[in-house]
Structure 1
Amino acid sequence: MTLYAYLPAVRGQMSFPSRALSPSFAVSQQEILSDLNLAFMGTVRAHKGDWGILADIFHANLSDSTKVTRDVKVRGIPIKNATANLDLDSKTSLLTLAGTYALTDTPRNVTRLVAGTRVLDTRQKLDWNLSGTVPGLGTVEHDGHSAINQTVWDGIVGVTGQARFGNNLRWFAPYHLDVGAGGSRLTGQALAGIGYSYPWGGLTATWRYIGYDFKSGNAISSLSFNGPAVGVVLHF
Protein backbone atom coordinates (compact mmCIF):
# COMPACT_ATOMS: atom_id res chain seq x y z
CA MET A 1 0.00 0.00 0.00
CA THR A 2 1.24 3.50 -0.88
CA LEU A 3 -0.06 6.73 0.64
CA TYR A 4 0.73 9.99 -1.20
CA ALA A 5 0.52 13.70 -0.60
CA TYR A 6 -0.02 15.25 -4.03
CA LEU A 7 0.26 18.91 -4.99
CA PRO A 8 -0.55 19.28 -8.70
CA ALA A 9 -1.17 22.25 -10.94
CA VAL A 10 -4.77 22.08 -12.17
CA ARG A 11 -5.88 23.04 -15.66
CA GLY A 12 -9.32 22.72 -17.13
CA GLN A 13 -11.90 24.23 -19.42
CA MET A 14 -15.62 24.10 -18.69
CA SER A 15 -18.81 25.77 -19.87
CA PHE A 16 -21.28 26.69 -17.16
CA PRO A 17 -24.91 27.13 -18.33
CA SER A 18 -26.33 30.61 -17.84
CA ARG A 19 -29.70 31.54 -19.33
CA ALA A 20 -29.37 35.08 -17.98
CA LEU A 21 -26.18 35.78 -19.93
CA SER A 22 -25.95 33.46 -22.92
CA PRO A 23 -26.24 29.72 -23.59
CA SER A 24 -22.88 29.22 -21.85
CA PHE A 25 -19.66 30.90 -20.89
CA ALA A 26 -16.23 29.39 -20.32
CA VAL A 27 -14.07 29.53 -17.19
CA SER A 28 -10.47 28.37 -17.10
CA GLN A 29 -9.32 26.81 -13.85
CA GLN A 30 -5.79 27.80 -14.82
CA GLU A 31 -6.82 31.45 -14.55
CA ILE A 32 -9.08 31.18 -11.51
CA LEU A 33 -7.30 28.77 -9.20
CA SER A 34 -4.20 30.40 -7.74
CA ASP A 35 -4.15 28.12 -4.67
CA LEU A 36 -4.84 24.42 -4.43
CA ASN A 37 -5.85 22.65 -1.25
CA LEU A 38 -3.74 19.57 -0.68
CA ALA A 39 -4.81 16.62 -2.79
CA PHE A 40 -4.62 13.02 -1.57
CA MET A 41 -4.08 9.72 -3.27
CA GLY A 42 -3.48 6.15 -2.18
CA THR A 43 -2.62 2.94 -4.01
CA VAL A 44 -3.15 -0.69 -2.96
CA ARG A 45 -1.48 -3.55 -4.84
CA ALA A 46 -1.79 -7.29 -4.19
CA HIS A 47 -0.09 -10.10 -6.12
CA LYS A 48 -0.21 -13.87 -6.22
CA GLY A 49 2.18 -15.38 -8.73
CA ASP A 50 2.02 -13.47 -12.01
CA TRP A 51 -1.48 -12.13 -11.39
CA GLY A 52 -2.51 -9.21 -9.22
CA ILE A 53 -4.90 -6.34 -8.59
CA LEU A 54 -4.40 -2.59 -8.35
CA ALA A 55 -6.70 -0.03 -6.73
CA ASP A 56 -5.88 3.68 -6.79
CA ILE A 57 -7.90 6.57 -5.39
CA PHE A 58 -7.27 10.28 -5.92
CA HIS A 59 -9.22 13.20 -4.47
CA ALA A 60 -8.74 16.96 -4.87
CA ASN A 61 -10.76 19.68 -3.18
CA LEU A 62 -9.93 23.18 -4.36
CA SER A 63 -11.50 26.61 -4.54
CA ASP A 64 -10.57 30.20 -5.28
CA SER A 65 -11.93 33.46 -6.65
CA THR A 66 -10.94 36.12 -9.16
CA LYS A 67 -12.02 39.57 -10.34
CA VAL A 68 -11.79 40.69 -13.99
CA THR A 69 -12.66 44.12 -15.46
CA ARG A 70 -12.80 44.95 -19.18
CA ASP A 71 -14.94 46.53 -21.92
CA VAL A 72 -17.12 43.94 -23.69
CA LYS A 73 -20.06 43.62 -26.05
CA VAL A 74 -23.12 41.49 -25.23
CA ARG A 75 -25.46 40.90 -28.22
CA GLY A 76 -23.94 43.96 -29.88
CA ILE A 77 -24.48 46.23 -26.86
CA PRO A 78 -21.25 47.82 -25.52
CA ILE A 79 -20.71 47.52 -21.78
CA LYS A 80 -18.06 49.74 -20.22
CA ASN A 81 -15.95 48.56 -17.27
CA ALA A 82 -17.69 45.21 -17.12
CA THR A 83 -16.56 43.56 -13.89
CA ALA A 84 -16.91 39.87 -13.09
CA ASN A 85 -16.38 38.48 -9.60
CA LEU A 86 -16.09 34.70 -9.89
CA ASP A 87 -15.95 32.09 -7.11
CA LEU A 88 -15.19 28.53 -8.17
CA ASP A 89 -15.41 25.43 -6.00
CA SER A 90 -14.15 22.16 -7.46
CA LYS A 91 -14.22 18.63 -6.05
CA THR A 92 -12.75 15.81 -8.14
CA SER A 93 -12.38 12.12 -7.29
CA LEU A 94 -10.70 9.44 -9.40
CA LEU A 95 -10.89 5.69 -8.76
CA THR A 96 -8.84 3.21 -10.78
CA LEU A 97 -9.54 -0.54 -10.50
CA ALA A 98 -7.42 -2.91 -12.59
CA GLY A 99 -5.99 -6.36 -12.88
CA THR A 100 -2.26 -6.85 -13.45
CA TYR A 101 -0.06 -9.52 -15.04
CA ALA A 102 3.73 -9.78 -14.64
CA LEU A 103 5.61 -9.25 -17.91
CA THR A 104 9.00 -9.31 -16.14
CA ASP A 105 9.76 -10.16 -12.52
CA THR A 106 13.44 -10.07 -11.56
CA PRO A 107 15.29 -8.59 -8.56
CA ARG A 108 16.23 -5.57 -10.70
CA ASN A 109 12.99 -4.97 -12.57
CA VAL A 110 9.30 -5.71 -12.23
CA THR A 111 6.95 -4.70 -15.05
CA ARG A 112 3.27 -5.56 -14.98
CA LEU A 113 0.57 -5.18 -17.61
CA VAL A 114 -2.44 -3.18 -16.34
CA ALA A 115 -6.02 -3.47 -17.65
CA GLY A 116 -9.15 -2.18 -15.98
CA THR A 117 -11.32 0.89 -15.53
CA ARG A 118 -11.07 4.42 -14.19
CA VAL A 119 -14.03 6.48 -13.03
CA LEU A 120 -13.99 10.26 -12.68
CA ASP A 121 -16.51 12.07 -10.48
CA THR A 122 -16.29 15.86 -10.60
CA ARG A 123 -18.43 18.55 -8.98
CA GLN A 124 -17.85 22.10 -10.24
CA LYS A 125 -19.73 25.06 -8.74
CA LEU A 126 -19.50 28.68 -9.90
CA ASP A 127 -20.97 31.77 -8.22
CA TRP A 128 -20.66 35.09 -9.99
CA ASN A 129 -21.47 38.77 -9.73
CA LEU A 130 -21.43 40.78 -12.97
CA SER A 131 -21.69 44.56 -13.20
CA GLY A 132 -21.06 47.20 -15.88
CA THR A 133 -22.21 50.46 -17.44
CA VAL A 134 -24.68 50.23 -20.33
CA PRO A 135 -25.30 53.35 -22.46
CA GLY A 136 -28.74 54.78 -21.67
CA LEU A 137 -29.28 52.45 -18.69
CA GLY A 138 -26.44 53.30 -16.35
CA THR A 139 -24.92 50.66 -14.10
CA VAL A 140 -26.45 47.19 -14.23
CA GLU A 141 -25.66 44.23 -12.00
CA HIS A 142 -26.45 40.54 -12.00
CA ASP A 143 -25.72 37.66 -9.62
CA GLY A 144 -25.82 34.02 -10.58
CA HIS A 145 -24.97 30.44 -9.69
CA SER A 146 -24.30 27.40 -11.83
CA ALA A 147 -23.05 23.86 -11.25
CA ILE A 148 -21.71 20.93 -13.24
CA ASN A 149 -21.88 17.38 -11.84
CA GLN A 150 -20.39 14.65 -13.98
CA THR A 151 -19.35 10.99 -13.68
CA VAL A 152 -17.30 9.39 -16.46
CA TRP A 153 -16.20 5.75 -16.86
CA ASP A 154 -13.29 4.71 -19.09
CA GLY A 155 -11.48 1.48 -19.86
CA ILE A 156 -7.68 1.69 -19.49
CA VAL A 157 -4.59 -0.35 -20.43
CA GLY A 158 -0.95 0.29 -19.52
CA VAL A 159 2.14 -0.83 -17.64
CA THR A 160 3.33 -0.33 -14.07
CA GLY A 161 6.41 -1.38 -12.17
CA GLN A 162 9.76 -0.41 -10.71
CA ALA A 163 13.45 -0.71 -11.54
CA ARG A 164 15.89 -1.38 -8.66
CA PHE A 165 19.53 -0.31 -8.44
CA GLY A 166 22.31 0.70 -6.04
CA ASN A 167 23.81 -1.12 -3.06
CA ASN A 168 21.64 -4.07 -2.05
CA LEU A 169 19.10 -2.78 -4.62
CA ARG A 170 17.65 -0.44 -2.02
CA TRP A 171 17.06 2.37 -4.50
CA PHE A 172 14.20 2.01 -6.96
CA ALA A 173 12.47 3.99 -9.72
CA PRO A 174 8.68 3.51 -9.77
CA TYR A 175 6.82 4.09 -13.03
CA HIS A 176 3.29 3.88 -14.37
CA LEU A 177 1.74 4.66 -17.75
CA ASP A 178 -1.82 4.07 -18.95
CA VAL A 179 -4.24 5.35 -21.57
CA GLY A 180 -7.95 4.82 -22.03
CA ALA A 181 -11.25 5.95 -23.50
CA GLY A 182 -14.98 5.33 -23.24
CA GLY A 183 -16.92 8.02 -21.44
CA SER A 184 -14.16 10.46 -22.41
CA ARG A 185 -12.47 10.88 -25.77
CA LEU A 186 -9.08 10.15 -24.19
CA THR A 187 -7.62 9.82 -20.70
CA GLY A 188 -4.03 9.20 -19.72
CA GLN A 189 -1.84 8.90 -16.67
CA ALA A 190 1.94 8.93 -16.24
CA LEU A 191 4.06 8.61 -13.09
CA ALA A 192 7.83 8.40 -12.59
CA GLY A 193 10.16 9.04 -9.69
CA ILE A 194 12.69 7.74 -7.18
CA GLY A 195 12.39 5.75 -3.97
CA TYR A 196 14.38 4.11 -1.18
CA SER A 197 13.51 0.79 0.46
CA TYR A 198 13.43 -0.08 4.15
CA PRO A 199 12.52 -3.40 5.80
CA TRP A 200 9.04 -2.03 6.57
CA GLY A 201 8.44 -0.44 3.15
CA GLY A 202 9.91 2.70 1.56
CA LEU A 203 9.74 6.39 0.73
CA THR A 204 9.07 7.81 -2.73
CA ALA A 205 9.22 11.14 -4.54
CA THR A 206 7.41 11.14 -7.89
CA TRP A 207 5.91 13.33 -10.58
CA ARG A 208 2.36 12.43 -11.65
CA TYR A 209 0.21 13.57 -14.55
CA ILE A 210 -3.48 12.74 -15.04
CA GLY A 211 -5.28 14.16 -18.06
CA TYR A 212 -8.73 14.06 -19.67
CA ASP A 213 -9.95 15.15 -23.09
CA PHE A 214 -13.73 14.98 -23.15
CA LYS A 215 -16.07 14.46 -26.06
CA SER A 216 -17.54 17.33 -28.06
CA GLY A 217 -20.55 18.93 -26.43
CA ASN A 218 -19.46 17.96 -22.92
CA ALA A 219 -19.82 20.64 -20.24
CA ILE A 220 -16.17 20.04 -19.31
CA SER A 221 -13.90 19.91 -22.35
CA SER A 222 -10.57 19.18 -20.62
CA LEU A 223 -9.15 18.56 -17.17
CA SER A 224 -5.63 17.74 -15.98
CA PHE A 225 -3.57 17.40 -12.81
CA ASN A 226 0.22 17.68 -13.07
CA GLY A 227 2.70 17.91 -10.21
CA PRO A 228 4.90 16.34 -7.52
CA ALA A 229 3.94 13.79 -4.89
CA VAL A 230 5.70 12.28 -1.89
CA GLY A 231 4.64 8.88 -0.59
CA VAL A 232 5.10 6.21 2.03
CA VAL A 233 5.09 2.56 0.93
CA LEU A 234 3.90 0.02 3.52
CA HIS A 235 4.39 -3.72 3.09
CA PHE A 236 1.97 -6.21 4.62
Structure 2
Amino acid sequence: MIAFKKLLAFTSLSVLSLHAFAQSAVNPMPKVGDDWRFSASINAWAPATWVTVTDNKRELSKSTVSSISDNINSAGPMAMFTLETHKGNWGVLADLVYWQSSGSYGESRPIFGKDNVLYASQNVTMKQTMFTAAATYTAYNSPSLYLDGLLGARYISSTTSLSNSTQLDHDGHVVTTPDGRKLAVGGNPSSVSQTTNPVVGFKGRARIMDSSWFIPFYADVGKGPGPNNGTWQALLGVGDAFSWGDVTLAYRAMGFHLNSNTGTTNYTNAGPQLSATINF
Protein backbone atom coordinates (compact mmCIF):
# COMPACT_ATOMS: atom_id res chain seq x y z
CA MET A 1 0.00 0.00 0.00
CA ILE A 2 2.84 2.39 0.83
CA ALA A 3 4.54 1.68 -2.49
CA PHE A 4 1.33 2.31 -4.44
CA LYS A 5 0.68 5.56 -2.57
CA LYS A 6 4.22 6.72 -3.34
CA LEU A 7 3.74 5.91 -7.02
CA LEU A 8 0.38 7.71 -7.11
CA ALA A 9 1.77 10.71 -5.23
CA PHE A 10 4.79 10.88 -7.54
CA THR A 11 2.56 10.76 -10.62
CA SER A 12 0.21 13.42 -9.21
CA LEU A 13 3.07 15.71 -8.21
CA SER A 14 4.61 15.34 -11.65
CA VAL A 15 1.32 16.30 -13.25
CA LEU A 16 0.84 19.32 -10.98
CA SER A 17 4.39 20.60 -11.35
CA LEU A 18 4.37 20.28 -15.12
CA HIS A 19 0.92 21.84 -15.34
CA ALA A 20 2.48 25.20 -14.55
CA PHE A 21 4.16 25.16 -17.96
CA ALA A 22 0.99 24.25 -19.82
CA GLN A 23 -0.40 26.26 -22.70
CA SER A 24 -4.06 26.40 -23.59
CA ALA A 25 -5.49 24.94 -26.81
CA VAL A 26 -2.45 22.75 -27.53
CA ASN A 27 -2.94 20.40 -30.46
CA PRO A 28 -2.94 16.86 -28.96
CA MET A 29 -2.25 15.10 -32.26
CA PRO A 30 1.29 13.77 -32.88
CA LYS A 31 3.33 15.44 -35.61
CA VAL A 32 4.54 12.81 -38.06
CA GLY A 33 7.79 13.86 -39.74
CA ASP A 34 11.39 12.98 -40.47
CA ASP A 35 12.60 14.16 -37.05
CA TRP A 36 12.87 11.76 -34.13
CA ARG A 37 10.21 12.15 -31.45
CA PHE A 38 10.24 10.48 -28.04
CA SER A 39 7.79 10.12 -25.16
CA ALA A 40 7.99 8.67 -21.65
CA SER A 41 4.97 7.92 -19.48
CA ILE A 42 4.66 7.29 -15.76
CA ASN A 43 1.57 5.18 -15.07
CA ALA A 44 -0.37 4.61 -11.87
CA TRP A 45 -2.65 1.65 -12.55
CA ALA A 46 -4.99 0.39 -9.81
CA PRO A 47 -6.78 -2.70 -11.14
CA ALA A 48 -9.06 -5.26 -9.62
CA THR A 49 -7.93 -8.86 -10.24
CA TRP A 50 -9.82 -12.01 -11.19
CA VAL A 51 -7.85 -15.28 -10.99
CA THR A 52 -8.81 -18.85 -11.85
CA VAL A 53 -6.30 -21.64 -11.16
CA THR A 54 -6.85 -25.20 -12.39
CA ASP A 55 -4.89 -28.18 -11.07
CA ASN A 56 -5.01 -30.97 -13.64
CA LYS A 57 -3.58 -33.65 -11.34
CA ARG A 58 -6.13 -33.04 -8.60
CA GLU A 59 -8.91 -32.06 -11.01
CA LEU A 60 -9.53 -28.91 -8.98
CA SER A 61 -10.38 -25.35 -10.03
CA LYS A 62 -10.31 -22.31 -7.75
CA SER A 63 -11.39 -18.74 -8.52
CA THR A 64 -10.66 -15.62 -6.48
CA VAL A 65 -11.44 -11.92 -6.84
CA SER A 66 -9.36 -9.07 -5.41
CA SER A 67 -10.97 -5.64 -5.45
CA ILE A 68 -9.11 -2.42 -6.20
CA SER A 69 -8.95 -1.61 -2.49
CA ASP A 70 -7.68 -5.14 -1.71
CA ASN A 71 -4.86 -4.76 -4.22
CA ILE A 72 -3.94 -1.29 -2.94
CA ASN A 73 -3.85 -2.51 0.66
CA SER A 74 -1.62 -5.47 -0.22
CA ALA A 75 0.59 -3.61 -2.71
CA GLY A 76 4.37 -3.82 -2.50
CA PRO A 77 7.14 -2.68 -4.89
CA MET A 78 5.92 -1.75 -8.37
CA ALA A 79 7.02 -0.12 -11.62
CA MET A 80 4.79 1.04 -14.48
CA PHE A 81 6.36 2.86 -17.43
CA THR A 82 5.76 3.32 -21.16
CA LEU A 83 8.41 4.50 -23.64
CA GLU A 84 7.91 5.34 -27.32
CA THR A 85 10.12 6.56 -30.14
CA HIS A 86 9.09 7.49 -33.69
CA LYS A 87 10.73 8.58 -36.91
CA GLY A 88 8.44 9.15 -39.82
CA ASN A 89 5.68 6.55 -39.84
CA TRP A 90 7.74 3.93 -37.98
CA GLY A 91 8.15 3.61 -34.25
CA VAL A 92 8.97 1.37 -31.28
CA LEU A 93 6.88 0.87 -28.13
CA ALA A 94 7.96 -0.59 -24.77
CA ASP A 95 5.59 -0.97 -21.82
CA LEU A 96 6.37 -2.44 -18.39
CA VAL A 97 3.94 -3.41 -15.64
CA TYR A 98 5.45 -4.96 -12.51
CA TRP A 99 3.89 -5.29 -9.12
CA GLN A 100 4.22 -7.34 -5.96
CA SER A 101 1.46 -7.99 -3.46
CA SER A 102 1.37 -9.96 -0.23
CA GLY A 103 -1.05 -11.12 2.42
CA SER A 104 -1.11 -13.19 5.60
CA TYR A 105 -3.57 -15.30 7.55
CA GLY A 106 -3.49 -16.88 10.99
CA GLU A 107 -5.93 -18.86 13.12
CA SER A 108 -5.91 -20.74 16.43
CA ARG A 109 -8.15 -23.70 17.16
CA PRO A 110 -8.46 -26.15 20.08
CA ILE A 111 -7.70 -29.74 19.08
CA PHE A 112 -7.77 -33.01 21.04
CA GLY A 113 -8.98 -31.27 24.17
CA LYS A 114 -9.13 -27.68 25.34
CA ASP A 115 -5.51 -27.70 26.58
CA ASN A 116 -4.09 -28.25 23.09
CA VAL A 117 -4.23 -25.23 20.78
CA LEU A 118 -3.04 -25.51 17.22
CA TYR A 119 -1.91 -22.31 15.47
CA ALA A 120 -1.83 -22.16 11.67
CA SER A 121 -0.48 -19.31 9.57
CA GLN A 122 0.08 -18.55 5.90
CA ASN A 123 1.98 -15.77 4.12
CA VAL A 124 1.43 -15.37 0.38
CA THR A 125 3.49 -13.21 -2.00
CA MET A 126 2.55 -12.75 -5.65
CA LYS A 127 4.73 -11.09 -8.30
CA GLN A 128 3.50 -10.21 -11.78
CA THR A 129 5.63 -8.95 -14.66
CA MET A 130 4.09 -7.94 -17.99
CA PHE A 131 6.46 -6.45 -20.57
CA THR A 132 5.26 -5.52 -24.06
CA ALA A 133 7.59 -4.53 -26.91
CA ALA A 134 6.31 -3.76 -30.40
CA ALA A 135 7.11 -2.07 -33.68
CA THR A 136 4.50 0.49 -34.75
CA TYR A 137 3.48 2.01 -38.07
CA THR A 138 1.27 5.07 -38.56
CA ALA A 139 -1.64 3.81 -40.65
CA TYR A 140 -3.73 7.00 -40.49
CA ASN A 141 -2.98 10.57 -39.50
CA SER A 142 -5.37 13.52 -39.75
CA PRO A 143 -6.17 16.63 -37.66
CA SER A 144 -8.83 14.64 -35.77
CA LEU A 145 -7.57 11.03 -35.70
CA TYR A 146 -4.19 9.32 -35.26
CA LEU A 147 -3.86 5.55 -35.63
CA ASP A 148 -0.84 3.23 -35.28
CA GLY A 149 -0.81 -0.46 -36.06
CA LEU A 150 1.52 -2.55 -33.88
CA LEU A 151 3.23 -5.93 -34.03
CA GLY A 152 5.36 -7.29 -31.21
CA ALA A 153 5.44 -9.63 -28.22
CA ARG A 154 4.47 -9.70 -24.55
CA TYR A 155 6.46 -11.46 -21.85
CA ILE A 156 4.39 -12.56 -18.86
CA SER A 157 5.65 -14.00 -15.59
CA SER A 158 3.57 -14.80 -12.53
CA THR A 159 5.19 -16.09 -9.34
CA THR A 160 3.27 -17.14 -6.25
CA SER A 161 5.16 -17.97 -3.05
CA LEU A 162 3.48 -19.49 0.00
CA SER A 163 5.02 -19.72 3.44
CA ASN A 164 2.90 -21.81 5.81
CA SER A 165 3.38 -23.22 9.26
CA THR A 166 1.35 -25.10 11.83
CA GLN A 167 2.67 -25.19 15.37
CA LEU A 168 1.58 -25.58 18.98
CA ASP A 169 1.58 -22.37 20.97
CA HIS A 170 0.57 -23.91 24.34
CA ASP A 171 3.56 -24.80 26.56
CA GLY A 172 5.71 -25.09 23.44
CA HIS A 173 4.77 -28.71 22.76
CA VAL A 174 4.02 -30.21 19.38
CA VAL A 175 0.49 -31.49 18.99
CA THR A 176 0.26 -35.19 18.16
CA THR A 177 -2.64 -37.38 17.20
CA PRO A 178 -3.73 -40.26 19.46
CA ASP A 179 -1.61 -42.63 17.33
CA GLY A 180 1.53 -40.48 17.81
CA ARG A 181 1.67 -38.57 14.51
CA LYS A 182 2.99 -34.99 14.74
CA LEU A 183 0.73 -32.25 13.40
CA ALA A 184 3.27 -29.43 13.32
CA VAL A 185 4.23 -28.84 9.69
CA GLY A 186 5.73 -26.09 7.59
CA GLY A 187 6.73 -25.38 4.02
CA ASN A 188 7.57 -22.80 1.39
CA PRO A 189 6.02 -23.95 -1.87
CA SER A 190 6.39 -21.67 -4.88
CA SER A 191 4.92 -21.78 -8.39
CA VAL A 192 6.11 -19.90 -11.46
CA SER A 193 4.23 -19.53 -14.74
CA GLN A 194 5.68 -17.61 -17.66
CA THR A 195 5.26 -17.26 -21.40
CA THR A 196 6.10 -14.99 -24.33
CA ASN A 197 3.28 -14.38 -26.78
CA PRO A 198 3.31 -12.50 -30.11
CA VAL A 199 0.75 -9.69 -30.14
CA VAL A 200 -0.92 -7.65 -32.86
CA GLY A 201 -3.06 -4.57 -32.34
CA PHE A 202 -3.56 -0.85 -32.74
CA LYS A 203 -3.31 2.35 -30.72
CA GLY A 204 -4.01 6.02 -31.19
CA ARG A 205 -6.09 9.01 -30.18
CA ALA A 206 -9.08 11.00 -31.42
CA ARG A 207 -9.22 14.78 -30.91
CA ILE A 208 -12.30 16.22 -29.24
CA MET A 209 -13.53 19.12 -31.39
CA ASP A 210 -10.58 21.49 -31.94
CA SER A 211 -9.54 21.47 -28.28
CA SER A 212 -6.54 20.12 -26.42
CA TRP A 213 -8.69 17.23 -25.17
CA PHE A 214 -8.54 13.82 -26.78
CA ILE A 215 -9.61 10.19 -26.41
CA PRO A 216 -6.71 7.70 -26.17
CA PHE A 217 -7.35 4.08 -27.17
CA TYR A 218 -5.37 0.85 -27.35
CA ALA A 219 -6.11 -2.82 -28.08
CA ASP A 220 -4.03 -5.92 -28.76
CA VAL A 221 -4.38 -9.69 -28.73
CA GLY A 222 -1.85 -12.49 -28.78
CA LYS A 223 -1.60 -16.27 -28.87
CA GLY A 224 1.35 -18.18 -27.45
CA PRO A 225 2.56 -21.79 -27.59
CA GLY A 226 0.26 -24.44 -26.21
CA PRO A 227 -3.53 -24.72 -26.30
CA ASN A 228 -4.25 -22.40 -23.37
CA ASN A 229 -1.63 -19.66 -23.60
CA GLY A 230 -2.88 -16.27 -24.72
CA THR A 231 -3.07 -12.60 -23.83
CA TRP A 232 -5.02 -9.44 -24.59
CA GLN A 233 -5.05 -5.80 -23.52
CA ALA A 234 -7.38 -2.81 -23.98
CA LEU A 235 -7.44 0.84 -22.87
CA LEU A 236 -9.90 3.70 -23.34
CA GLY A 237 -9.92 7.08 -21.62
CA VAL A 238 -9.73 10.84 -21.87
CA GLY A 239 -6.71 13.14 -21.90
CA ASP A 240 -5.58 16.73 -22.06
CA ALA A 241 -2.51 17.94 -23.96
CA PHE A 242 -0.01 20.57 -22.80
CA SER A 243 3.17 22.04 -24.23
CA TRP A 244 5.30 19.45 -22.40
CA GLY A 245 3.12 16.38 -23.02
CA ASP A 246 -0.25 15.21 -21.78
CA VAL A 247 -2.22 13.74 -18.87
CA THR A 248 -4.69 10.90 -19.30
CA LEU A 249 -7.20 9.09 -17.13
CA ALA A 250 -8.19 5.76 -18.64
CA TYR A 251 -9.70 2.38 -17.90
CA ARG A 252 -7.10 -0.29 -18.61
CA ALA A 253 -7.66 -4.03 -18.76
CA MET A 254 -5.22 -6.89 -19.39
CA GLY A 255 -5.74 -10.63 -19.40
CA PHE A 256 -3.47 -13.60 -19.81
CA HIS A 257 -3.83 -17.37 -19.76
CA LEU A 258 -0.85 -19.47 -18.72
CA ASN A 259 -0.52 -23.19 -19.34
CA SER A 260 1.91 -25.39 -17.39
CA ASN A 261 2.48 -29.11 -16.79
CA THR A 262 0.31 -29.05 -13.69
CA GLY A 263 -2.58 -26.85 -14.85
CA THR A 264 -3.66 -23.44 -16.10
CA THR A 265 -3.82 -19.96 -14.60
CA ASN A 266 -6.18 -17.29 -15.97
CA TYR A 267 -5.68 -13.67 -14.88
CA THR A 268 -7.72 -10.59 -15.65
CA ASN A 269 -6.60 -7.20 -14.31
CA ALA A 270 -8.82 -4.16 -14.93
CA GLY A 271 -9.16 -0.72 -13.38
CA PRO A 272 -8.42 3.03 -13.68
CA GLN A 273 -5.00 4.33 -14.71
CA LEU A 274 -3.61 7.86 -14.32
CA SER A 275 -0.70 8.69 -16.62
CA ALA A 276 1.62 11.64 -17.19
CA THR A 277 3.48 11.65 -20.54
CA ILE A 278 6.44 13.86 -21.38
CA ASN A 279 7.31 14.48 -25.03
CA PHE A 280 10.85 15.36 -26.06
Secondary structure of the residue that 1:140 maps to in structure 2? coil
- Whether the 8 Å contact between 1:92 and 1:120 is mirrored in structure 2 is yes
| Greater relative contact order (CA < 8 Å, ≥ 6 in sequence) | 2
What amino acid maps onto 1:155 in structure 2?
P
Corresponding residue for residue 173 of structure 1: 215
Measured on the aligned residues, the alpha-carbon RMSD in Å equals 3.4
Structure number with higher strand proportion = 1
**What's the counterpart of residue 43 of structure 1?**
82
**1:95 maps to 2:137:** no
Q: Which moved more, 1:110-119 or 1:135-144?
A: 135-144
Residue-by-residue CA offset, 1:163-197 (whole Å, 9 max, x unaligned):
1114x430011111011011452211011111000
Paired residues for 1:110-149 under 5 Å = 110-130=146-166, 136=178, 140-149=183-192
Tell me the TM-score normalised to structure 2 length: 0.67
Structure 1 stretches of 4+ moved >4 Å: 22-29, 31-34, 67-70, 130-139
Structure 1 67/208 Cα, relative in aligned 2: closer, same or farther at 3 Å? farther
Match of 2:50 in 1: 11
* CA drift at 1:15: 6.8
> Comparing both structures, which one devotes a greater share of its residues to helix?
2
The question of whether the paired residues in 2 share the 8 Å contact of 1:170 and 1:198 is answered with yes
Distance 1:152 1:59 in 2: 15
C-alpha displacement of 1:23: 6.7
8 Å CA contact 2:48–2:66 kept in 1: the answer is: no
- Post-superposition Cα deviations, 1:111-160, rounded to whole Å, max 9, x if no partner, equal 11111000012222111235899985598332221012333110000111
1:227 aligns with 2:271: yes
**What's the TM-score, normalizing by structure 1?**
0.79
User: How many residue pairs get matched?
Assistant: 220
Q: For the structure 1 residues 12 and 137, does the alpha-carbon distance in structure 2 shift closer, same or farther, using more than 3 Å as the test?
A: farther
Gaps (5+ residues) in structure 2?
A: 1-39, 110-117, 169-174
Stretch of structure 1 that moved more, 57-66 or 181-190: 181-190
